[in-house]
A and B are shown apart, each in its own frame.
Chain A
Amino acid sequence: MARYIGKRIIYMVITLALIATFTFFLMKILPGSPIASADKLSPEQRAVVEARYGLDDPLPVQYFNYMFGLVQGDLGISINQFKGADVTDVILSRMGPSAQIGFQGMLLGTVLGILLGMIAALRQNTWIDYSSTVVAIIGISIPSFVFASMLQYSLGLKLGWFPVALWKDGFMSSVLPSIALAMFPLATAARFIRTEMIEVLGSDYITLAKAKGASGSEIAFKHAFRNALIPLITVLGPMAVGILTGSLVVEQIFAIPGIGEQFVKSIMVSDFSIIMGTTIFFSVFLILVILIVDIMYGIIDPRIRLSGGKS
């Protein structure tokens, strides 16, 4: 197991280096300059600013300088968005709200989705099942920013239960964005768990469990649930991606000073170091999620438990 994780971490580092390289050169291809109102500056002034941020070096030199800093954990400083601030500090300070709504949304979505899917499977072909299917279709087909606006209008503006936008009221401010983010994982989890539960409930080992005298709830929770979870784990990774990319837009709509909102802005103003830093941060996060998913597989399903340990 330890050996496996070690191997995975080496792969992670290689993946990250590749991502950093690609992003770096893609960014350099982009038109526009991080120096605000660049046209108004005289060539001399411009040269001074560029020299200050190392933008006048040849591209390979810039690349190696950046990668060298990256290895040491230095993501550079913000060029224009947060003038001169350390990128790591910017990301860390912006991470709080994003992590909060992302985590709340993911938790709410998966837990409710699993419940909904299980109830639908156990009450197959009843109105409960049909309504859960409708919820799943809505959740998958309507993008999170539509939910965001609808929530703002109904629960925020009309009923006034929650603040419409901004990050001022702590938890209350996080409710609407979390709900908006939860819809996709909720729908996905409900759909997967329903399908899988129905299949598992029809399998021979469930009949054997029944033949042992197990009750309905014992069958659902002790025998069926764990087996039905396996495919859901597979989609949890991409779902986390959904939450992340979804949060870029949702944070914009709710004016939350999160990492997504800052990421979108940094692209608009071509703040190279912020774009790089955020991309790398997202990548690390994603790769970690995928590793965790792979480890969870082994915990849930002994058949794919990683070899190398004592068997």
Chain B
Amino acid sequence: MEKILQVKDLELSFNTFGGEVKAIRGVNFDLYKGETLAIVGESGSGKSVTTKSIMRLLPESSAEFKNGEILFGGRDLTKLSDKEMQKIRGKDISMIFQDPMTSLNPTMPIGRQITEPLLKHQKISKSEARKVAIDLLRLVGMPKPELRMKQYPHQFSGGQRQRIVIAISLACNPQILIADEPTTALDVTIQAQILELMKDLQKKIDTSIIFITHDLGVVANVADRVAVMYGGKIVEIGTVDEIFYNPQHPYTWGLLSSMPSLDTEDAKLYAIPGTPPDLLDPPKGDAFALRSEYAMKIDMEMDPPFFKITDTHMAATWLLHPDAPQVEPPVSVIERMKKFPGSRYYEGSAN
């Protein structure tokens, strides 16, 4: 499959009054054409910063690339000038944000907000742009688009506004669409509609999607592959099935165990103990070690490298080292692994 975006050894820091906050500490991933890659992790794990750094939307005054590259169309996005980035933003890579209530300009009719990237990136007239915008609104399921072009954001509901934001992001048929928790601020029924819409549209225009979320239910619904981030790093990456049914990293185990399921109604919901690491002064070794009951001495000393489980599945944990002792994952995770061919707990097809 064709790689459309490659992030290599990306390191990024914020210079603050308190010192250097190492928000991204060596992130590697590839994005393939037409796939949906979900990035999951708790608040502060660096998932939003990673995608904002791809778009170069972080404040230039404080955010600084320390190392690595972001390769897109043969160019390294970390090296481009702001002028060059302006030609990529909204045209080749576009973005959907978390809160549709605040991401539209309240004093501009939505029609103008949709035509803006069209007029900016494509050589078309205003009336043509208007036609495209109406088509886009129809595409995202907005009734009576012609009438609604002149209306302002406050005249739309939250779900409708997110549809408008999606229309804007798709205006120039981008190769990559970054969705930064696009459904978090919406209620559950609207969430489902927006996810369906995004899946539909992806098939229609064949774009690659990076989907940031902390909702594993959403991940299972939309993603082809999943990257789990923790403390500014990807700790495990694999296909949806691999991450959900054969997880290897203790953090992924923690995440999956803390997800409510239909058969755990009487049990207390699991929570990962402790707090995320302070990235102003990241811990030595594995950042998750201090919160992990599976941590070994080496986790306190050395950062684990990536161990390959399959061609598509990798995890950064010393537990996968040949010399590491066999440990038992949490019960709920073992239950999951029993269903996955290739996992050591596989019990054959359930009959």
Interface positions of A (Cβ within 8 A of B):
203-205, 207-216, 222-223, 226-227, 300-303, 311
Check if A226 sits within 8 Å of B57, measured CB to CB: no
Q: List 13 A-B contacts (CB under 8 A).
A: A204-B97, A205-B103, A205-B105, A207-B57, A208-B97, A208-B168, A211-B94, A211-B169, A213-B87, A213-B90, A213-B120, A213-B121, A215-B83
Contact of B27 with A by CB under 8 A: no
Residue of B nearest to A301 (CB): B107
Chain B 83-107, CB-CB to A under 8 Å as 1, else 0, gives 1001111110011010100111111
Contact of B215 with A by CB under 8 A: no
Task: Determine which of B103, B116, B152, B165 lies in contact with A214 in the assembled complex, contact meaning CB atoms within 8 Å.
Answer: B116
Chain A residues closer than 8 Å to B154, beta-carbon distance = 302-303
Check if A223 sits within 8 Å of B108, measured CB to CB: yes
Chain A residues closer than 8 Å to B116, beta-carbon distance = 209, 212, 214
B325 to chain A, nearest CB (A): 47
Residue of B nearest to A124 (CB): B61
Chain A residues closer than 8 Å to B107, beta-carbon distance = 226-227, 300-302
B86 to chain A, nearest CB (A): 5
Task: Determine which of A205, A211, A223, A226 lies in contact with B89 in the assembled complex, contact meaning CB atoms within 8 Å.
Answer: A211
The 7 closest A-B pairs by CB, nearest first: A213-B90, A212-B90, A213-B89, A204-B102, A302-B152, A204-B103, A211-B95
Chain A residues closer than 8 Å to B87, beta-carbon distance = 213
Give the size of the chain B interface in residues (CB under 8 angstroms). Answer: 31
A236 to chain B, nearest CB (A): 17
Residue of A nearest to B92 (CB): A213
Chain A residues closer than 8 Å to B108, beta-carbon distance = 222-223, 226
Chain B 101-145, CB-CB to A under 8 Å as 1, else 0, gives 011111110000000110011000000000000000000000000
Check if A208 sits within 8 Å of B89, measured CB to CB: no
Please measure, in the bound complex, the distance between the C-alpha atom of A82 and the C-alpha atom of B333, giving whole angstroms: 97
Please measure, in the bound complex, the distance between the C-alpha atom of A222 and the C-alpha atom of B105, giving whole angstroms: 10
Contact of B55 with A by CB under 8 A: yes
Check if B105 sits within 8 Å of A207, measured CB to CB: no
Residue of A nearest to B87 (CB): A213
Please measure, in the bound complex, the distance between the C-alpha atom of A214 and the C-alpha atom of B88, giving whole angstroms: 11
B265 to chain A, nearest CB (A): 37
Task: Determine which of A204, A209, A300 lies in contact with B99 in the assembled complex, contact meaning CB atoms within 8 Å.
Answer: A204
With A213-B86, A213-B121, A215-B86 given, is the CB distance from A208 to B106 under 8 Å?
A: no
Please measure, in the bound complex, the distance between the C-alpha atom of A259 and the C-alpha atom of B95, giving whole angstroms: 58
Number of A-B pairs, beta carbon distance below 8 Å: 74
Chain A residues closer than 8 Å to B165, beta-carbon distance = 208
In chain B, residues 163-191, which have Cβ atoms closer than 8 Å to a Cβ of chain A? 165, 168-169
Check if A212 sits within 8 Å of B168, measured CB to CB: yes
With A227-B107, A303-B106 given, is the CB distance from A207 to B91 under 8 Å?
A: no
With A211-B89, A214-B116 given, is the CB distance from A205 to B95 under 8 Å?
A: no
Chain B residues closer than 8 Å to A212, beta-carbon distance = 89-90, 94, 116-117, 120, 168
B216 to chain A, nearest CB (A): 25
In chain B, residues 239-272, which have Cβ atoms closer than 8 Å to a Cβ of chain A? none
Task: Determine which of B94, B102, B152 lies in contact with A203 in the assembled complex, contact meaning CB atoms within 8 Å.
Answer: B102
B208 to chain A, nearest CB (A): 16
Chain B residues closer than 8 Å to A207, beta-carbon distance = 57, 97, 103
Chain B residues closer than 8 Å to A203, beta-carbon distance = 102
Residue of B nearest to A205 (CB): B105
Please measure, in the bound complex, the distance between the C-alpha atom of A212 and the C-alpha atom of B168, giving whole angstroms: 8
Check if A211 sits within 8 Å of B104, measured CB to CB: no
Please measure, in the bound complex, the distance between the C-alpha atom of A213 and the C-alpha atom of B168, giving whole angstroms: 12
In chain B, residues 25-69, which have Cβ atoms closer than 8 Å to a Cβ of chain A? 55, 57
Check if A214 sits within 8 Å of B97, measured CB to CB: no
Chain B residues closer than 8 Å to A226, beta-carbon distance = 107-108
Chain A residues closer than 8 Å to B102, beta-carbon distance = 203-205
B57 to chain A, nearest CB (A): 6
Chain B residues closer than 8 Å to A210, beta-carbon distance = 57, 89
A302 to chain B, nearest CB (A): 4
Known: A213-B120, A227-B106. 16 other contacts (CB 8 A): A207-B97, A208-B95, A208-B97, A208-B104, A208-B105, A208-B165, A209-B105, A211-B94, A211-B95, A212-B90, A212-B94, A213-B87, A223-B105, A300-B107, A303-B154, A311-B155
Residue of A nearest to B85 (CB): A213
Residue of A nearest to B178 (CB): A211
Residue of B nearest to A215 (CB): B86
Chain A residues closer than 8 Å to B97, beta-carbon distance = 204, 207-208, 211
With A205-B104, A205-B106, A226-B107 given, is the CB distance from A213 to B152 under 8 Å?
A: no
Please measure, in the bound complex, the distance between the C-alpha atom of A223 and the C-alpha atom of B121, giving whole angstroms: 18
Check if A301 sits within 8 Å of B105, measured CB to CB: no
